[in-house]
Structure 1
């Protein structure tokens, strides 16, 4: 049988996602993977150095596709930082939900290992760059070194918040993941309220929501 010629990066990603979901394991080798999908092994290496590289790029593509969709909206472009971040979250988790089986497979495979962090490293870089470019207003420290520390702290805390939301989404069993939507809205609004030093109403509200969820799951 003649080999497929027009094989692109997205084709290989689709082949890989289908394979691991059907077999519940990684392909044994690049050669076997290429043969199963009827393309030349060399085509794989035009785009990827390993299966781990595919896994990393998949999560980055979830991010890229989310941002691409948002940037097509004039309404999104006109949003302030808070609403841009909320829009990102809702759209990103719609993307994850459309690929939930794969996301859970990939994250559980490296559960509680450093490889899990490596798997998300490209996503983290893209997301923290996104946070940096939102120009979120914070207290003006007026000292260069402290400003750099503040910027890094903001990016890292935003990343941790995204990871916590992903964990909540993975454990969410509500219809249409409606509790995740509530979690997103409350956590993002609370984060901005903390930065803007406004009254603690939303912080308390978010705390009550988390406490209620923990009690019900215990």
Structure 2
């Protein structure tokens, strides 16, 4: 098992954000953390990454418990829902800064970043500063930076935000290529059609609680649905919307 999350809890000012979150991620799979805005997806992710203090629970990477973000350095890469850059550096300098931190071989790193820049049609933005980019292009830069880091698991929080249909397709194929290389991906999203198209399994979270988790095939059979959207609406008790 690559990552296991057991009984994860988080309170904000005494109010429950997430409660008893349990799930696992296997090597070489794409898992979707699915739920509406405010369901607890980002709190779950930040608790896993130790970016916020959680109020109970255990997280393990390859069977070993970890207690801070430095324990998972070079193991988990994170694409946040709000991009974070060095705004005083150009996009290219942001990329090269990552190279200086995570790569010992300049030629291999340069080959990799050039390939990613081409894949995401980002060449014309390299000499711009991040604040000059559109929301979609900021997202593409964050994806490039996240992929350049060393990782066994990529966690991406709402990674499709701001992308046009062509770039959504490119990003879906990108995640599949990461899986095919033997690594794993967890995406959080409220876009159920996208989750259905690329995820091996989904964890459905509602009001801070995991209400279902399984393969999409099994969930569709259980809820007698032909789409993940219908599964979700039935779980939410919104049959009148179907």
Instruction: Give TM-score, length-normalised by structure 2.
Output: 0.23
Higher RCO (C-alpha under 8 Å, 6+ residues apart): 2
Bigger CA radius of gyration: 1
Richer in strand (by share): 2
Richer in helix (by share): 1
Instruction: Give TM-score, length-normalised by structure 1.
Output: 0.25
